[in-house]
Amino acid sequence: MSVSASIFILILLAGAGFFFGRQRSLALVSGKLATLHSLPNQYGWYVGILMLLPGILVILLWIVFSGNIIDTMVIASLPDHAGPATEQARALLLNDIHNTAAGAPHSGSSEIYIQEAAQRYSRLKSQGVNIVSALVALFAVIGGLAGFRTIRPDLRARTHVERVILILLILSSVVAIFATLGIVLSLIVESARFFARVPLAEFFFGLQWSPQTALREDQVGSSGSFGAIPLFAGTLLISFIAMCVAVPLGLMSAIYMTQYSRKNVRKVVKPLLEILAGIPTVVYGFFAALTVAPFIRESGGLLGLDVASESALAAGLVMGIMIIPLMSSLSDDALTAVPEAMRDGSLALGATRSETIKQVLIPAALPGIVGAFLLSVSRAVGETMIVVMAAGLAANLTANPLEAVTTITAQIVALLTGDQEFDSAKTLSAFALGLALFGATLLLNMLALSIVRKYRESYE
Amino acid sequence: MSKNTAVHAPTVWGSEAMQNRISARYRKERRFRLLGLFAILLALSFLAILLFTLGAKSIGGFFQTKIELTIHFDRSLFPDLDGLNSDEASLALTRVDYAALIRQSLMDRFPDVRQRRDVRSLASLVSAGARQTLAGTVRQDPAVIGATQDIWFLASGDIDSFVKGKISRDVPESDRRVKDREVIWIDALDAAGKVKVGFNWGFFSSGDSREAELAGIWGAIVGSFLTLVVTLLFSFPIGLAAAVYLEEFAPQNKFTDLIEININNLAAVPSIVFGLLGLAVLLGFFNMPRSSPFVGGLTLGLMTLPTLIIAGRAAIKAVQPSIRDAAIGLGASPMQTVFHHVIPLAMPGILTGTIIGMARALGETAPLLMIGMVAFIVDVPESFSEAATVLPVQIFLWANSPERAFVDKTSAAIIVLLLFLILMNGLAVWLRNRFERQW
């Protein structure tokens, strides 16, 4: 018996409930529909929902909480000498038990008590699923019977059903709030644990980033340093290079497409530009590392410049290319939102098109263009794969685009992939970086959205 | 005439100064226009260069060098299968030293190679997967034991790159991954017509491997599929319900504003932050299985949810109010109006938005790195809760491999990913054109 099987059975049961509820309502009035309060289908739904809801609730609770409950029970059942002393040991032990239970060939642990715990874990899990399935079926039957028996011609089935649906709709739209809450809370909680070990001032003003903490206490350089300024500077440098590519190209192509090109040309060119936006960032990263970086390195070598093989320039250029369509389509919106009358007035006074664009359209659309710029910057700051693959991990504090720099996102990936220590300052620092990243992009987005909204209102 | 009107001499348009000024303005106009055209062409040429480079590199990934060897299935190396049932027989066959068969065949062809070290490098001409090929041949037809057969084997990754010309002969031997000795062997085999380059079907049917020549993308495709199923099952119902509520039922108040602000902000949160959310909440708090399509799908589902809600709202908004009025007028409840009339009419738009959101989720890498989908996984995943990898992550993993042969594999995997994306976006465009309604 698995969880998906019990979901399947639940749906079958509810389907049967729907059918019988519908039949029952028809039988009660012997086919004279006008005497029923609601339509027969709605009586069917009424019974079906009564059967489904408790079961779904039970299954959700099981999915969410079963892992923790079973782990606690398994740990509690361990013999005294094997009980973990610290949080860290507990996590390692559980990892061992899970691997053994899953039958991983190289889990390495052949200790008897781990084997037993693993067996116990598997047994508890299958017992739990069985209990859940039984509960689900029981609730479905109870709910179905209760629903079936309460069906009367004057039962307001439609009102009940619609109320449940409305509640479900509201719950769905609240998921967005929960997602934001989840992000903010998880980032803040983990960052707080980080800042308990590393002072805030060191993180935000320190100039040295080397998160390698030693395995042994007495090792040389055992305290990593967590000054994030080189990362912020690297992020800004790469974003700046990206903007130098994306803003002129994006803005100019938007101007050309809205003001100069014929309609059918625009119809072809715009989707082609959108392709640039649809290409996955990992592809850009590969392109940057494989083609652009060596190209820049070689052409720099011809000019006698010493270019790092993972230069900020390569990552920034490719990121700029990626952002062109975003900048272009947002500026496009801003330009087309300017009332025709302003443009026509300028043209009628004898200004050329370019003069109209430079002196009337762009000033009028400026808030929208600034909004587009801010959103593009936010995109550049949060971009991950290009910098992971092309910008490297050397935390240099430099403004030279030919050197290697690293960014917030690249460091988060480096810190959280590969071998992780539980609960170390190194792992936790990723969340502090994540919080800084989230805060920065949130600020940029809010600013951009409010500027764009205000601007739109002024023309409406 | 009013008093304060100044008297100007009329502009002489024909004067040279004026003519110069006008032509200067027109020159500026032309220059500006060309600048715009240049910007578009530059952006498009970037696209062309990107696609061309990847396309050219990917060809090597779709084709594979093979080497034909004459294998003598020496009876003395095989166990006696008489009197064993089929299970015992296949178990006995897995223990056979197939590497010895390959070694023997190569030594027969190059009788002057006798040193132990040389024999080992000779044997590494063919892929480590050659043993599986042989085992498969014997399992299919045990009658070959004792016989002699010509069999094509995959060449090892470096030899493959060499035959395709990706490793140059002109590089000094010390810098070359294929040594002079191996070059001589390969040339000899080639002269005998024992080397060919053929389409690499294995690329589409096998999982990941440390050996470039054996690595395939089927495991990643299945992983991507499972992940997207979870993403779709999570984000489509919730996104649709939220869009319906906000567009049709929500009252204008602070709470609704809060929801809307949240959705707009979530849409612009960097994807890696969703990965951190998945790591801290789904893995850390709820203890869900690490690296699994289930967790990956939920993370991507949260990420695509705002896109879906925004697209759904736009589609619902586009349905004419007269449809609602007519339904209400005929006695339908607001809920019936929405579910029987508005949603079906808005469905093409909603589906278009959903497909575009799924395409974005398919190409996403960063959040999946956070929840541990970077593990090296050979097996093709079979359920939502076992460790899996997805196409973009597979690309990332291969891109980090130093071996030359993996560059081609990476490009080939990228082309496959782009094909899927083109297919999905094409479907979305088709849906929009086919069902778009002009009111």
Shared-domain flag, residues B116 and B223: no
Q: What is the pLDDT of residues A20-46, one digit of tens each?
A: 999 888 888 887 888 888 888 899 999
Q: State the average pLDDT over residues A314-334.
A: 94
How much helix, strand and coil, in percent to the nearest 5, is found in chain B? 65, 5, 30
Distance CA A23, CA A46 (A): 12
Shared-domain flag, residues B288 and B199: no
Number of C-beta neighbours around residue A456 at 10 A = 15
Contacts of B410 in chain A (CB under 8 A): 286
Shared-domain flag, residues B198 and B227: no
Distance from CA of B378 to the nearest CA of A (A): 13
**Is the model's pLDDT at B421 over the cut of 80?**
yes
Shared-domain flag, residues B154 and B274: no
Distance CA B171, CA B176 (A): 6
Q: What is the pTM of this model?
A: 0.87
Instruction: Considering only residues B303 and B99, tell me which one the structure prediction assigns the higher pLDDT.
Output: B303
Contact B180, B173 (CB under 8 A): yes
Q: What is the pLDDT of residues A130-175, one digit of tens each?
A: 999 999 999 999 999 998 888 888 888 899 999 999 999 999 999 9
Instruction: State how far Cα A103 lies from the chain centre.
Output: 32
**Exposed e or buried b per residue across A316-353, where buried means at least 16 C-beta atoms within 10 angstroms of its C-beta:** bbbbbbbbbbbbbbbbbbbbeebeeebbeebeeeebbb
Q: What is the count of structural domains for chain B?
A: 2
Within an 8 Å CB–CB cutoff, is residue B363 touching chain A?
Answer: yes
Contacts of B340 in chain A (CB under 8 A): none
Percent of chain A with pLDDT over 70: 93
Q: How confident is the model at residue B310 (pLDDT cuts 50, 70, 90)?
A: very high
Distance CA B70, CA B53 (A): 39
pLDDT at residue B105, rounded to an integer: 85
Residue B192 lies in a domain: yes
pLDDT at residue B39, rounded to an integer: 94
Percent of chain A with pLDDT over 90: 43
Contact B100, B123 (CB under 8 A): no
**Contact check, Cβ <8 Å, A165/B335:** yes
Task: Locate CATH 1.10.3720.10 in chain A.
Answer: 225-459
pLDDT at residue A431, rounded to an integer: 92
DSSP codes joined into one string, B58-104: HHHHHEEEEEEEEEE--GGGSPP-TT--HHHHHHHHHTS-HHHHHHH
Q: What is the pLDDT of residues B166-195, one digit of tens each?
A: 778 888 887 787 888 888 888 888 888 888
Distance CA A219, CA A213 (A): 9
**Is the model's pLDDT at B424 over the cut of 50?**
yes
Contact B92, B81 (CB under 8 A): yes
Residue B262 lies in a domain: yes
pLDDT at residue B123, rounded to an integer: 82
CA-based nearest residue to A143, from A58, A17, A25, A3: A17
Shared-domain flag, residues B280 and B345: yes
Residue B404 lies in a domain: yes
**CB-defined contacts A:B, below 8 A:** 251
Q: Which domain holds residue B151?
A: 69-204
Q: What is the pLDDT of residues B317-337, one digit of tens each?
A: 999 999 999 999 999 999 999
Range of weakest confidence among A89-93, A222-226, A365-369: A222-226
Instruction: Considering only residues A270 and B173, tell me which one the structure prediction assigns the higher pLDDT.
Output: A270
Q: Which of B182, B204, B226 is the C-terminal boundary of a domain?
A: B204
Within an 8 Å CB–CB cutoff, is residue A355 touching chain B?
Answer: yes
**Is the model's pLDDT at B415 over the cut of 90?**
yes
Residue B131 lies in a domain: yes
Instruction: Tell me the three state secondary structure of residue A305.
Output: coil
Residue B312 lies in a domain: yes
Distance CA A80, CA A356 (A): 83
Contacts of A71 in chain B (CB under 8 A): 287
Distance CA A390, CA A386 (A): 6
Shared-domain flag, residues B136 and B260: no
Q: What is the pLDDT of residues B57-98, one digit of tens each?
A: 888 888 888 888 888 888 777 777 777 777 777 777 777 788
Distance CA A61, CA A139 (A): 14
Contact A314, A293 (CB under 8 A): yes
- Among residues 384-413 of chain B, which lie with CB inside 8 Å of chain A? 392-393, 395-396, 399-400, 407, 410-411
Instruction: Tell me the three state secondary structure of residue B129.
Output: coil
- Among residues 128-167 of chain B, which lie with CB inside 8 Å of chain A? none
Q: State the average pLDDT over residues A312-340.
A: 93
Q: State the average pLDDT over residues A385-394.
A: 88
Residue B48 lies in a domain: no
Distance from CA of B408 to the nearest CA of A (A): 11
**Contact check, Cβ <8 Å, B277/A183:** yes
Residue B135 lies in a domain: yes
Shared-domain flag, residues B180 and B310: no
Q: What is the pLDDT of residues B218-260, one digit of tens each?
A: 999 999 999 999 999 999 999 999 999 999 999 999 999 999 8
Q: How confident is the model at residue A419 (pLDDT cuts 50, 70, 90)?
A: low
Which of A267, A282, A388, A417 is the best substitution to test chain B (most B C-beta atoms within 10 A)?
A: A282
Pairing of strands A209-210, B195-199: unpaired
Which of A169, A178, A389 is the best substitution to test chain B (most B C-beta atoms within 10 A)?
A: A169
Shared-domain flag, residues B265 and B137: no
**What is the CATH number assigned to the segment(s) A225-459?**
1.10.3720.10
Q: What is the CA radius of gyration of chain B?
A: 32
Instruction: Considering only residues B137 and A316, tell me which one the structure prediction assigns the higher pLDDT.
Output: A316
pLDDT at residue B70, rounded to an integer: 85
Q: What is the pLDDT of residues A229-257, one digit of tens each?
A: 999 999 999 999 999 999 999 999 999 99
**Contact check, Cβ <8 Å, A172/B242:** yes
Shared-domain flag, residues B118 and B249: no
Q: State the average pLDDT over residues B5-16.
A: 80
Instruction: Tell me the three state secondary structure of residue A236.
Output: helix
Shared-domain flag, residues B259 and B384: yes
**Contact check, Cβ <8 Å, A416/B258:** no
**Contact check, Cβ <8 Å, A282/B281:** no
Shared-domain flag, residues B225 and B358: yes
pLDDT at residue B1, rounded to an integer: 47
CA-based nearest residue to A283, from B437, B416, B254: B416
Q: How confident is the model at residue B5 (pLDDT cuts 50, 70, 90)?
A: low
Q: How confident is the model at residue A1 (pLDDT cuts 50, 70, 90)?
A: low
Interface predicted TM-score (ipTM) of this complex, two decimals: 0.88
Distance from CA of A365 to the nearest CA of B (A): 17
**Is the model's pLDDT at A452 over the cut of 60?**
yes
Within an 8 Å CB–CB cutoff, is residue B333 touching chain A?
Answer: yes
pLDDT at residue B157, rounded to an integer: 81
Compute the mean pLDDT over every residue in chain A, rounded to the nearest whole number. Answer: 86
**Is the model's pLDDT at B125 over the cut of 90?**
no
**Contact check, Cβ <8 Å, A174/B238:** no
Query: Phi first, then psi: what are they for B151, rounded to 5°?
Result: -130, 140
Q: How confident is the model at residue A112 (pLDDT cuts 50, 70, 90)?
A: confident
Contact B393, B373 (CB under 8 A): yes
Within an 8 Å CB–CB cutoff, is residue A255 touching chain B?
Answer: yes
**Is the model's pLDDT at B272 over the cut of 90?**
yes
Q: Which residues does A203 contact at the CB level (< 8 Å), separation at least 6?
A: A194, A195, A226, A227, A228, A429, A432
Residue appearing with tokens 């119809």: A267
Instruction: Considering only residues B234 and A68, tell me which one the structure prediction assigns the higher pLDDT.
Output: B234
- Among residues 376-395 of chain A, which lie with CB inside 8 Å of chain B? 378, 381-385, 388-389
Within an 8 Å CB–CB cutoff, is residue A179 touching chain B?
Answer: yes
Residue B389 lies in a domain: yes
**Is the model's pLDDT at B137 over the cut of 70?**
yes
Shared-domain flag, residues B273 and B383: yes
